[in-house]
């Protein structure tokens, strides 16, 4: 009986490792080239798989559930801003560990779910889908008049200054003391 559990654990870990390798090294790394996020997500996946494999073999108590939420709360304690795409991939690596480590589903069902999820990630974040748009945060050393009330004027001014067509602009912060405004813009790439 113990040998069968060990074999199932080894198969689950192999599926987990292959899925997270496809996610991080097949999709995330080629597109974003972020070593720290790739390494952190891979390690977090491995540790989460280990913890959940143990917890799935014992009586899963409320305390264990709170422990998992505490692990996920680490996202709020980060000292450096992480972009939304990186957070999504990071969460994806944790989700893969959860899907593959907790028993109850057949291996064929787990493989099917992972194939569907990874396929959708590949399609949604494919470079050809967003190849004609870019995004950047900029800081202006002056605050345009009526910046919040007249978005079309802001788009026009930013388009002229940056020599691109601004699709959207989101004011992140305005500092009237230093006369600085931070804006996140999306623009068309020709």
What are the sequence ranges of the domains in the chain? Answer: 2-124, 133-188
Nearest to 49 by CA among 77, 4, 12, 86: 12
pLDDT of residue 157: 85
Q: Spell out, as residue ranges, where the chain has pLDDT lower than 50.
A: none
pLDDT of residue 72: 65
Alpha carbons 64 and 58: distance in angstroms, whole number: 10
pLDDT of residue 69: 66
Sheet holding 133-140, edge to edge: 133-140, 180-188, 165-175
pLDDT of residue 77: 52
pLDDT of residue 71: 63
Nearest to 114 by CA among 4, 12, 8: 12
pLDDT of residue 158: 87
pLDDT of residue 105: 84
pLDDT of residue 45: 93
Cα→Cα distances 50→56, 100, 164, Å: 10, 11, 48
pLDDT of residue 132: 75
pLDDT of residue 29: 95
């Amino acid at each position: 009986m113990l040998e069968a559990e060990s074999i199932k654990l080894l198969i689950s870990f192999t599926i987990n490792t292959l899925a997270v390798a496809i996610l991080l090294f097949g999709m995330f790394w080629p597109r974003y080239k972020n070593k720290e996020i790739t390494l952190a997500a891979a390690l977090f996946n491995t540790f989460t798989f280990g913890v959940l494999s143990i917890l799935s073999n014992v009586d899963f108590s409320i305390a264990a559930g709170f422990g998992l939420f505490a692990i996920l709360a680490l996202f709020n304690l980060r000292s450096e801003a992480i972009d939304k795409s990186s957070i999504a991939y990071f969460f994806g690596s944790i989700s893969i560990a959860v899907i593959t480590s907790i028993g109850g589903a057949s291996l064929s069902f787990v493989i099917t779910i992972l194939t569907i999820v990874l396929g959708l990630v590949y399609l949604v974040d494919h470079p050809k889908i967003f190849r004609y748009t870019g995004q950047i945060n900029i800081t202006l050393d002056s605050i345009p008049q009526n910046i919040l009330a007249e978005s079309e004027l802001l788009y026009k001014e930013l388009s002229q200054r940056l020599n691109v067509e601004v699709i959207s602009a989101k004011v992140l912060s305005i500092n009237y003391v230093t006369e600085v405004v931070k804006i996140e813009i999306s623009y068309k790439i020709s």
